[in-house]
Amino acid sequence: MGDTLDWRIWHFAANGRYSVKSGYWAALEFKRLEVLSAGSIAGPSSSSLKLWKHLWKLKVPKKILHFLWRLAQNILPTKDVLFLRHITQEAVCFRCNAVYESALHAVVGCTVCIPVWEALDFPCAFLQLNLTDARNWLTAAWALIPPDKQSLFAITVWLLWNERNGVLYGSQPTPPRVLVQRAKDYDDEVKRSLVVNHRSLSSPVRDVKWYPPVAGCFKLNVDGAADLETGARGAGAIVRDSQGNLVGAMAMRAPSMLSILATELYALKTGISFALDASFVPLVIESDSLLAVNMINDVEECLAAEGALVDGVRRLLATHEFSTVRHIPRSANGAAHRIARFSLRDQNLSCWMEVGPLWLMDAVYDDWPASNVSSLHFQL
Ligand SMILES: [Zn+2]
């Protein structure tokens, strides 16, 4: 069934047949050409990838990760950014009258921030770093800050940004010693909540959560999605390693009007092709469709209407003896579900390796075993 699909990426496979591998390389090539034709050579550079990997391991609430990522992208609405976009007449810092209020000025260089950083006892080389480029600065700062202080660092940058916004909108400035105490309290709270969540893993929980595969293995989660109004169908697949890190993910349309069961099987087939093509083996495969998983694992020939898809999946599995398919509840399949939903909004095949857009990194983060800290509410 999938082989008769009229899919424009077919043109890219040398043998004229559809393959996920040729599909995602073609998609990457499209992206690269788009970037080149837009006159920019900027792409997801290795330095931003490296930085994201650092940030991603950080156990702080998700909103703080969001903030750091926006800081690194230089898209916070600081005076210099607004000035360059002709939204304001001047770029002067409204707190210390420095000529340019850049994002790094707002959270590090401003005279009102420095006493906070000094009181928190970070390595002194830290404040002498070049403050011109936020991404380079964050990367350099990461190298200087001991691992046990990284969450405090992230929390402090975030608090200082909130402090800056508060003052901009009319609040009285908070004394540095109060900010220092808040940062420390918040860091303690975050670390405590991690311990609590860790303990709760041993007690029975109602919602089954995603968990990573054993060391040396990969886990593929797939899901299908259907738009009942338009008839569109989509598939999402995500591969993660034993640390819960994103290794690869893919979103693609499935043939319109497929049955829900066939869409789930289609997601299994394309997801497994994707993972095996990229050599993500040994592979554990999870789907939240009990019926689809049972059909695949049944030893009998499948005589249902979906038989061709079932055969397709079984053939793929037969090439790798370590690959197993199992059923998991929806609550443990959140990331794949979001990728499948995404495929309904975007006609193109999308593929991400190691790092993806924010919504995807969020989905990965939400599944992360220790990420319950992201639901932490702390009143500042
Ligand atoms: Zn300033």
- CATH classification at residue 234: 3.30.420.10
Q: Both 339 and 251 in a single domain?
A: yes
Question: How far is ligand 1, taken at its centre, from the CA of residue 160, in Å?
Answer: 12
Taking the C-alpha atoms of residue 65 and residue 138, their distance in angstroms, rounded to an integer, is: 12
Q: Both 157 and 270 in a single domain?
A: no
Say if 27 falls within a structural domain: no
Question: How far is ligand 1, taken at its centre, from the CA of residue 135, in Å?
Answer: 20
| Dihedral pair phi/psi, residue 327, rounded to 5° | -90, 140
- The number of beta carbons lying within 10 Å of the beta carbon of residue 278 is 18
Question: How far is ligand 1, taken at its centre, from the CA of residue 95, in Å?
Answer: 5
Say if 207 falls within a structural domain: no
Residues 187/193, Cβ–Cβ less than 8 Å: no
Q: Both 90 and 143 in a single domain?
A: yes
Residues 224/263, Cβ–Cβ less than 8 Å: yes
Question: How far is ligand 1, taken at its centre, from the CA of residue 359, in Å?
Answer: 32
Say if 4 falls within a structural domain: no
Say if 7 falls within a structural domain: no
Per-residue pLDDT of the chain in tens (380 residues, 90 and over written 9)? 333 333 333 333 333 333 444 444 444 444 444 444 343 334 445 666 677 777 777 888 877 887 888 888 777 878 777 777 777 778 888 899 887 888 888 998 899 998 999 898 877 666 766 667 788 888 888 888 888 888 999 999 999 998 988 888 888 899 999 999 989 988 888 887 765 544 433 334 456 889 898 888 999 999 999 988 888 999 999 999 988 889 999 999 999 888 989 999 999 999 999 999 888 988 999 999 999 999 999 888 888 888 999 999 999 998 887 778 999 988 899 999 999 999 999 888 999 988 888 888 888 888 876 543 433 333 33
Question: How far is ligand 1, taken at its centre, from the CA of residue 269, in Å?
Answer: 55
Question: How far is ligand 1, taken at its centre, from the CA of residue 99, in Å?
Answer: 9
Question: How far is ligand 1, taken at its centre, from the CA of residue 70, in Å?
Answer: 20
Q: Both 179 and 222 in a single domain?
A: no
Structural domain total, the chain: 2
Using the 3D structure, point to which of 131, 163, 198 is the last residue of a domain.
Answer: 198
Say if 212 falls within a structural domain: no
Q: Both 316 and 278 in a single domain?
A: yes
Taking the C-alpha atoms of residue 126 and residue 142, their distance in angstroms, rounded to an integer, is: 9
Question: How far is ligand 1, taken at its centre, from the CA of residue 62, in Å?
Answer: 27
Taking the C-alpha atoms of residue 240 and residue 271, their distance in angstroms, rounded to an integer, is: 13
Give the closest residue to 157 by CA, choosing from 211, 221, 108, 93: 108
Say if 192 falls within a structural domain: yes
Q: Both 180 and 85 in a single domain?
A: yes
Q: Both 161 and 233 in a single domain?
A: no
Give residue 239's pLDDT. 97
Question: How far is ligand 1, taken at its centre, from the CA of residue 167, in Å?
Answer: 12
Give residue 124's pLDDT. 66
Question: How far is ligand 1, taken at its centre, from the CA of residue 140, in Å?
Answer: 22
Using the 3D structure, point to which of 198, 227, 249 is the last residue of a domain.
Answer: 198
Question: How far is ligand 1, taken at its centre, from the CA of residue 225, in Å?
Answer: 49
Give residue 159's pLDDT. 92
Question: How far is ligand 1, taken at its centre, from the CA of residue 77, in Å?
Answer: 15
> In sequence order, what are the residues at sequence separation of 6 or more whose Cβ sits closer than 8 angstroms to the Cβ of residue 58?
65, 150, 151, 154
Q: What is the extent of the structural domain holding 277?
A: 218-372
Question: How far is ligand 1, taken at its centre, from the CA of residue 305, in Å?
Answer: 67
Q: Which residues surround ligand 1, an ion (CB under 5 A)?
A: 93, 95-96, 98, 110
Q: Both 226 and 259 in a single domain?
A: yes
Distance of CA 149 to the CA centre of its chain: 23
Question: How far is ligand 1, taken at its centre, from the CA of residue 94, in Å?
Answer: 7
Give residue 70's pLDDT. 83
Say if 243 falls within a structural domain: yes
Taking the C-alpha atoms of residue 76 and residue 81, their distance in angstroms, rounded to an integer, is: 8
Q: Both 224 and 188 in a single domain?
A: no
> In sequence order, what are the residues at sequence separation of 6 or more whose Cβ sits closer than 8 angstroms to the Cβ of residue 9?
18, 22, 23, 26, 27, 349
Q: Both 51 and 182 in a single domain?
A: yes
Question: How far is ligand 1, taken at its centre, from the CA of residue 81, in Å?
Answer: 15
pTM: 0.51
Taking the C-alpha atoms of residue 96 and residue 110, their distance in angstroms, rounded to an integer, is: 7
Question: How far is ligand 1, taken at its centre, from the CA of residue 105, in Å?
Answer: 6
Give residue 370's pLDDT. 53
Using the 3D structure, point to which of 170, 198, 226 is the last residue of a domain.
Answer: 198
Q: Both 169 and 304 in a single domain?
A: no
Q: Name the DSSP class of 106.
A: I
Give residue 55's pLDDT. 77
Question: How far is ligand 1, taken at its centre, from the CA of residue 102, in Å?
Answer: 9
Q: Both 240 and 368 in a single domain?
A: yes
Question: How far is ligand 1, taken at its centre, from the CA of residue 284, in Å?
Answer: 52
Question: How far is ligand 1, taken at its centre, from the CA of residue 59, in Å?
Answer: 29
Say if 301 falls within a structural domain: yes
